[in-house]
Amino acid sequence: MYKFCTTERNNAKANEYETKAMLYLSSFRKDSNEIDAFLVDCFNDITGSNQEVTKLWDVQSKNVKSLNPTKIGTALITLFQNYISNIDFTHFILFMPKLKEMYLQDETMTIYTIDNFHEKHKVKITEGLKKEYLRRNSNTANQTEIEEFLKKIYFVVASENKVEYIKNIIKFKNIVSIEDTFFVSIFDEIRDKQTQLKNIDIEGKIIEFAKEALQFEKTIHRNDIDILIINRFVGVDLFSNRMIPNLFLEEIKEYDQEERKDIIQECNAALSRVIFNKNNKKHFWIFFESIISILRNSKCEAPRQIYQEMKSKSVKIPLLLDELSVIYLISILKESLENDN
């Protein structure tokens, strides 16, 4: 049994850190591809999960500039209580600012374990955790459980730059003309969606298995983030029931109205399969960047001509996209860029 307790109502800076923690899980880790969803303010500030919700990455974020070892121990309480709960968590992470004091053996590290702290500071972390556990539970924590828990914790130093978290998802290499404000606006939109989910109250709710937490609808899926980013580049909701792009009409002018609808649906389905293919995400972003780059520099007007230019430049097109679906995407992106200008 797992009972959800009262959760914090954080300020804007704390919410920003929780968004950074989520985006850290989504693209900065070697195992990020295993994470399909993010549970917001359920088990902790953010908890990543695989599709089956059988593997959990539990994160407590702490945006406190003056963190000392005792305060670090206090901040670990939610992670520790999850560690000793009936729910099986796979990873435990404290997401925090860079420590200013001389607490660490190697201050250059941005991800480290308890062993990176000097011995006297390890003791203070333990004491801080014990004291907070006693305050919350009115009994003493098991020393062996605390020792085993502290061996499992990873301390992750957050970047102060919002832009870095968005750029790391899309991994664009060559486009330099996109203003940082564009990426900041995407970050802020993700943060706002996350904050909305925080406001859903689940205090006192009880579950037996982690997957039952999905019923509270406090979940952001990895695909939600990808689609949001793509939609901001495209300028519209890519998968909404939209009118046919004017530039695409030339390609389907021979078909009747119903056939055109079917073609658009098939193009969207092909794009969806590529975007949601988490095992080939990097390839998609490289392809997407290539289209934008060519559109910004090409003298061609017709989407089919631009498609041929892509072919001549050996742009690697995802296997799940046929010729027509690529031309459809080119049409949407070209119209969007022209509207921006």
Q: What's the pLDDT tens digit per position in 231-279? A: 888 776 776 656 688 899 989 989 998 999 899 989 989 998 898 887 7
Q: Please tell me whether residues 273 and 200 are part of one structural domain.
A: no
> Is 260 a member of any domain?
yes
Q: Please tell me whether residues 149 and 194 are part of one structural domain.
A: yes
pLDDT at site 74: 96
Q: Please tell me whether residues 147 and 263 are part of one structural domain.
A: no
Q: What's the pLDDT tens digit per position in 123-175? A: 999 999 999 999 999 899 999 999 999 999 999 999 989 999 999 998 776 65
> Is 152 a member of any domain?
yes
Q: Please tell me whether residues 324 and 179 are part of one structural domain.
A: no
Q: Please tell me whether residues 164 and 285 are part of one structural domain.
A: no
- Which residue from 48, 51, 42 is spatially nearest to 29, judged by alpha carbons? 48
Measured over the CA atoms of residue 208, residue 214, residue 216 and residue 222, the dihedral's sign is: positive
> Is 19 a member of any domain?
yes
- Which residue from 177, 206, 306 is spatially nearest to 248, judged by alpha carbons? 306
Last residue within a domain, chosen from 198, 226, 254: 226
Q: Under 8 Å CB-to-CB from 35, ≥6 apart: which residues?
A: 25, 26, 29, 48, 49, 50, 57, 222
Asked whether residue 204 carries a pLDDT value surpassing 60, the answer given is yes
- Which residue from 254, 242, 285, 268 is spatially nearest to 324, judged by alpha carbons? 268
Q: Please tell me whether residues 217 and 245 are part of one structural domain.
A: no
- What pTM does this model have? 0.85
Query: Residue 330's CB: how many other CB atoms inside 10 A?
Result: 26
User: For the chain, where are the E strands, in sequence order?
Assistant: 2-3, 37-40, 46-49, 56-61, 91-96, 111-112, 153-157, 206-207, 219-221
pLDDT at site 103: 95
Between strands 153-157 and 111-112, the pairing is: antiparallel
How many domains are there within the chain? 2
